[in-house]
């Protein structure tokens, strides 16, 4: 579920209380959701001194407005403009099943407890919407061309994984999910049969699938590139937007072929050579020492023993995050966005 909010002035997220209503004064900005035909409301409250871009407060309130449960919820919150916030929420994690809901925004900028301090949008009542299950079907972008990295003026990094899906891929997804990070998986058509569930999980959790040919052929032709894309679509209903040539072997024909199929050719600027199994310590140090703003990091989740890369991954995320980096899919890093359609 994607929520876009425009404000009259920039919202200072660190000053907001993600669990308002306790003892003392609260400043808050919350989205209230109530399912039609049921009493009570769920509040998703932005802010907090830490992790404001990755977590929101979740409150369940009964019909009398009393809080009956408090928790936090993993989300993705972006600020594409100073006065615009875009919140991505997994409805299932928030306890929201497909149905009709009423929504309202509740704001308290003054930090006082009197009823007049809170303002709502709309000013009275609420508005109705229908929550429908959707799935990613593609993304914007996908034009012909090469990219070795994203913009250098933002502390954003794309972690990428080649040669899957494999018996390791689920564990890589577990590691990314535990760290609230996202990555891009460049997959081989020959490895896809029997692993369709894993592929759908990649997309469901906000990660991205890219084309890596059918048989890991260098300087691939049309059928190698198109064949892998067709298998991705067949397994997931997702049209890949990015293509990575095996071994980085690329020429103008490869770039043009991928572009003709709606995919940008993606290379990298950080390569820890994890394919050679140098050990988790080497993978970690090589990545952390080489990353710059906008880097695309090449790693592998398939094609051999990937336990070393898997062991290094949580430490890589922690170290880069401590240096102020965020993690995005390749398409997001390059300024594109995912496209979704309802099931059916």
Task: Determine if the peptide bond prior to 165 is cis (ω within 30°).
Answer: yes
pLDDT in tens, 129-142: 888 888 899 999 88
What is the SS3 assignment for 87-130?
EECCCCCCCCCCEEEEEEEEEECCCCCCHHHCEEECCCCCEEEE
Which member of 162, 163, 211, 274 is catalytic?
162
pLDDT in tens, 169-200: 999 999 999 998 999 999 999 999 999 999 99
Q: How far is CA 268 from the centre of its chain?
A: 20
> Can 162 be counted among the known catalytic residues?
yes
CA distance 260 to 262: 5
Angle at CA of residue 43, ends 42 and 44, nearest 5°: 120
pLDDT in tens, 285-312: 999 999 999 999 999 999 999 999 999 9
Angle at CA of residue 85, ends 118 and 131, nearest 5°: 85
Query: Which residues 6+ apart lie within 8 Å of 114 measured at CB?
Result: none
Among 118, 103, 88, 98, which residue's Cα sits nearest to residue 20?
Answer: 118
pLDDT at 147 over 70: yes
Local confidence band at 103 (pLDDT 50, 70, 90 cut-offs): very high
Residue 141: per-residue pLDDT: 87
> Can 207 be counted among the known catalytic residues?
no
CA distance 330 to 310: 20
Q: What is the mean pLDDT of residues 24-30?
A: 83
Kindly report which listed range (68-72, 145-149, 154-158, 291-295) carries the lowest average pLDDT score: 68-72
Average pLDDT score, the chain: 93
pLDDT in tens, 248-274: 999 999 999 999 999 999 999 999 999
Which member of 53, 182, 212, 300 is catalytic?
300
């Amino acid at each position: 579920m994607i929520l876009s909010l425009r404000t009259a002035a920039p919202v200072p997220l660190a000053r907001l209380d993600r669990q308002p209503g306790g003892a003392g004064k609260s400043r808050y900005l919350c989205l209230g959701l109530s399912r039609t035909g049921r009493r009570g409301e769920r509040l998703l409250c932005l802010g907090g001194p830490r992790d404001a871009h990755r977590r929101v407060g979740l409150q369940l309130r009964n019909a009398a407005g009393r809080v009956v449960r408090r928790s936090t919820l993993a989300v993705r919150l972006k600020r594409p403009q100073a006065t615009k916030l875009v919140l991505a929420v997994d409805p299932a994690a928030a306890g929201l099943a497909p149905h009709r809901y009423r929504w309202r925004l509740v704001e308290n900028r003054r930090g006082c407890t009197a009823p007049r301090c809170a303002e709502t949008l709309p000013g009275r009542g609420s508005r109705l919407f229908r929550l429908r299950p959707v799935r990613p079907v593609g993304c914007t972008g996908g034009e012909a061309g090469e990219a070795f990295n994203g913009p250098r003026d933002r502390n954003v990094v794309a972690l990428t994984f080649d040669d899957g899906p494999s018996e390791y891929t689920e564990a890589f997804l577990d590691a990314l999910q535990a760290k609230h990070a996202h990555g891009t998986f460049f997959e081989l058509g020959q490895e896809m049969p029997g692993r369709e569930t894993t592929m759908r999980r990649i997309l469901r959790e906000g990660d991205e699938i890219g084309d890596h040919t059918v048989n890991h052929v260098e300087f691939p032709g049309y059928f190698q590139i198109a064949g892998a894309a067709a298998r991705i679509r067949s397994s997931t209903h997702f049209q890949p937007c990015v293509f990575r040539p095996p071994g980085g072997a690329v020429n103008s024909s490869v770039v043009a072929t991928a572009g003709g199929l709606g995919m940008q050719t993606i290379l990298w600027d950080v390569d820890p050579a994890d394919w050679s199994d140098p050990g988790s310590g080497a993978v970690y140090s090589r990545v952390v020492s080489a990353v710059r703003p906008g880097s695309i990091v090449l790693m592998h989740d398939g094609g051999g023993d990937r336990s070393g890369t898997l062991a290094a991954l949580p430490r890589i995320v922690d170290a880069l995050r401590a240096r102020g980096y965020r993690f995005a899919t390749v398409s997001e890093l390059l300024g594109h966005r995912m496209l979704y359609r309802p099931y059916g």
